[in-house]
Structure 1
Amino acid sequence: MTDPTDPTEHTGPTERYTVISADCHAGADLLDYKPYLPRRFHDDFDAWAADYVNPYEDLLADTADRNWNSGRRLAEMEADGIVAEVVFPNTIPPFFPSASLMAPVPTREELDRRWAGLRAHNRWLADFCARTPGRRAGVAQILLNDVEEAVREVRRTREAGLTGGVLLPGVPPGSGIPELYSEVYDPLWAVCAELDVPVNHHGGSASPPLGDEPAARAVFMVETTWFSHRALWHLIFGGAFRRHPSLRLVLTEQGSGWIPGVLEMLDYYHERLVSAAGRSAVTAESKFGAGLAEAMGQRPSAVWRGNCYVGASFMRPHEVPLRERIGRDKIMWGSDYPHDEGTQPYSREGLRIAFAGLPRQEIAAMVGGNAARVYGFDLGLLDPIAARVGPTVAEIAEPLTRVPDGATSPAFAPGGSVRVW
């Protein structure tokens, strides 16, 4: 019998799905960050804001206010069939030259200013989420340059009501920051495990700078998800999950079809190196594997099953048949609102092209139940809203035969609707 209190068995209202987007983005309008900064930074902020030129076209467009206009955002998402969201950052926090948390930091004074900017964003986000109680799980931002400060910010933002966890910055090669497998980050993993704070690693934040030539931009598109995937094997081989068994890692907007193959590869290397290390003969591989089993504990696929999840933004049809190997309890669909590559205002069609023909209980878990479990959403609060605005079971069961005019999401990319069962 289905347990209505268990998000993995939750089917939502009788005729509709409770859809929670596990990947959305928001941030304050630039000048609106000032009240969230300590007064001693106000003059610095005025000087920075006066000279700042925003490099992102979507933050200069007429639609930019979808990042901070709570009423507009709520209306558009409800019209799209979505009742709640996990909120990643989008706009530029104070004192940053770009959105990248790994932008070079030349001095301690500059680092202090950037920490102030991130804390301002986190304070703004807590207020933004509080405007719609129970419907937004805000993801806090930190820097890895100062682990003690990161730990303090995780505690502070959890107490402030941000339930989306923490955004783990990427560590691109050449950044000068210790690699994610380093035990220097153990205090961060410890506090996230202690407070049940999900560690989110979002696509696009871990790539090294490549330049602005046409080839460089194409290479970035090909490589960016791979660089984001690296967090998975860094934390696994580094033993973070062995030392902190309740630590949870969410990989968001990096696709999901890669996961089964990568887990097989990681298991292969783990078994190969551990086996070599256990032999009496000293070989090159035995040196590579020395201490690995003790450091990381379980094999990678077991760590995935116990500790990891995927924010499967605008999940594409070719990924859906892999859901058993990924884990049906691991997949969390996302609309990527308000980005151009997001499914809004065609999220219902995006759900249809991916999930039509699947059992209702599986769909309910992937579009909402799993996210409710990972991020602590109250389905008792959300189900009545979904009964009013959510997509109907019959609607999502109908295969999509025509891509909507104007749809720009990769969910609708050519060839994406081909599926073999």
Structure 2
Amino acid sequence: MNSVTPTPWPKDRVIPANSWQPPAGVRLISSDDHVLEVPHLWEDRLKGADKDRAPKFWKDETGFHMTVGGDSYDVPGLPFDFHEGREGFWDVSERLADMDAEGVEASVVYHGRAAGLIRMADKDFFIRCIDVFNEWMAEWKEAAPTRLFPVAYLPTFFKPEMTADYLHKLKELGFKAIEIPLNPRGMRYNSSEMDPMWRAIEESGFPLSVHIGAYLQFSGRGSLGANLNANLMPFTGMFGQFVFSGIFDRFPGLKLVFTEGGAGWVPATLENADKIARDYASELRPRIAHAPSWYWHNNCYATFMQDDVALENIDRIGADRILWSVDYPHPESILGNSEAIVQGIFDKVGDAKARQIVGDTAAKLWGI
């Protein structure tokens, strides 16, 4: 019977001394990492009446906690230190030390708890709370501005007409990357009402990331594993939505980064989507200008941590379409094993393609 060897929680992982060095000139850029917001962020920074109902985020002896209006926004079913126990999650000096130990030059950094605020009923208040988060992230990056590249959370999917002005603010704050949630409840990204947002993003030049979420689809026995398994493979539907609704045809300059869902899903998705486009060509509306796989190779990217399936299919996916990441400091991250995995990428796909995958494409995409 096959057995599973447990991986230590991130807080307990030891980064081994380097025994392999990448070839000269290789840039290691992690395209998906995370930062934990500072305690009391919203209580300290919101103003007026908003301050009285601010999300509460704090740390005690059991870990970090968040409540909004008295409701817990903690993730159920997991110990509080499962991914929030490594000090580099919130301590920049510890983070940089871990990056140095693994040879990581730069890090593209996503939210910690802020994305969970999407559950808030008052969407105007949600936008103001996200604004506080983005302003804090812009300050946070100044601790190491040539190494830390935070991803701003774009809250205007609720009000697409606000997007152009909000993106202007994000540029002034120094951001190079933005993200939107995968499946905001009650919203349809293929609606024509969203076109002002897509237009503004295209015109801004920002690459747009869509990060996996923590959706609790299953309950009962085995629900933790089932939910994690579903959450880590969510992007086939969204790729189809962007392609078949004509978003890429209307806004061909959009660059979409599918984040933390790996890239092994891509070959089968492209094969199936191309078949659908052929078999249902007379019925699909709107008519699309290209085969779905064309949009992948012209508009899309995916991040991965360890993905042998993707590497085995690299010529179908494109070495310029996938972005290596550590996913620091989540349990599924490759923290403590990055060197061996990067070495494996070079062994599997060769020097030229590996350089693209582990850093060059990220540098070009985000201007790092």
Interval of TM-score (by shorter of Structure 1 and Structure 2): 0.7 to 0.9
Where structure 1 has 5 or more consecutive residues not aligned to the other structure, the ranges are 1-11, 94-98, 278-287, 378-421
Residue of 28, 31, 41 corresponding to 1:32: 41
Alignment partner, residue 154 of structure 1: 167
- CA distance in structure 1 between the partners assigned to 2:353 and 2:229 by the alignment: 31
In structure 2, relative to structure 1, the CA distance for the partners of 1:64 and 1:117 (3 Å cut) is farther
Alpha-carbon distance between aligned partners in 2 of 1:239 and 1:46, rounded to the nearest angstrom: 38
- Which has the higher relative contact order, 1 or 2, with Cα contacts under 8 A spaced 6 or more apart? 1
Aligned to 1:403: none
Decide whether aligned partners of structure 1 residues 118 and 65 sit closer, same or farther in structure 2, where only a CA change above 3 A counts: farther
Selected match of 2:336 from 345, 369, 393: 345
Which residue, out of 100, 107, 111, partners 2:116?
Answer: 100
Q: 1:191 aligns with which of 160, 175, 200?
A: 200
Structure with the higher fraction of residues in helix conformation: 1
Contact between 1:201 and 1:231, CA under 8 Å: does it hold in 2?
Answer: no
For 1:113, which of 125, 128, 136 is the aligned residue? Answer: 125
- How far did 1:49 drift? 7.1
Which letter does structure 1 place at the counterpart of 2:365?
V
One-letter code aligned to 1:351: V
Residue aligning to 1:125: 137
Say if 1:357 and 1:325 are closer, same or farther in 2 by CA, change over 3 A.
closer
* Partner SS, residue 45 of structure 1: coil
Asked whether 1:241 is paired with 2:248, we answer yes
TM-score using structure 2 length? 0.82
**Would the alpha carbon gap of residues 65 and 33 (structure 1) be closer, same or farther in structure 2, given more than 3 Å must change?**
farther
User: How far off its partner does 1:233 sit?
Assistant: 1.0
- Give the match's secondary structure for 1:356: helix
- Show the counterpart of 2:8: none
Q: CA deviation at 1:258?
A: 1.4
Query: Which one-letter code corresponds to 1:228 in the other structure?
Result: F
Distance in 2 (CA, whole Å) between partners of 1:184 and 1:370 is 32
Instruction: Select the residue among 256, 259, 278 that pairs with 2:266.
Output: 259
- Secondary structure of 2:316's counterpart equals helix
Q: Deviations over 1:102-123 (max 9, x none)?
A: 42x43xxx22222121111111
1:56-71 aligned within 5 A: 56=75, 57-58=79-80, 63-71=85-93
Task: Report % sequence identity.
Answer: 25
How large is the Cα RMSD of the aligned pairs? 2.6
Residues 286-329 of structure 1, C-alpha deviations (whole Å, 9 max, x = no match): xx42x432xx32221111111111112x1222321211110011
- 2:228 pairs, out of 205, 221, 224, with 221
Provide the rounded CA distance (Å) in 1 between the counterparts of 2:347 and 2:251. 38
Displacement of 1:44 in angstroms is: 2.2
Report the secondary structure of 1:370's partner residue. Answer: helix
1:133-158: per-residue Cα shift (whole Å, max 9, x none)? Answer: 22222111133222233443333112
CA contact (8 A) 1:229 1:254 kept: no
Q: Deviations over 1:185-223 (max 9, x none)?
A: 111111111111111111235x4x434312433432343
Report the CA distance shift for 1:230/1:62 in structure 2 as closer, same or farther (over 3 A). closer
2:53 maps to amino acid: D
State the match for 1:406 in structure 2: none
The answer to whether structure 1 residue 292 and structure 2 residue 305 are counterparts is no
Instruction: Using the TM superposition, give the Cα deviation of residue 130 of structure 1 relative to its aligned residue in structure 2, in angstroms.
Output: 2.1
Distance 1:46 1:230, change over 3 A: closer
Q: Could you say what secondary structure the match of 2:261 adopts?
A: coil
Return 5+ residue gaps in structure 2 as ranges. 1-20, 57-66
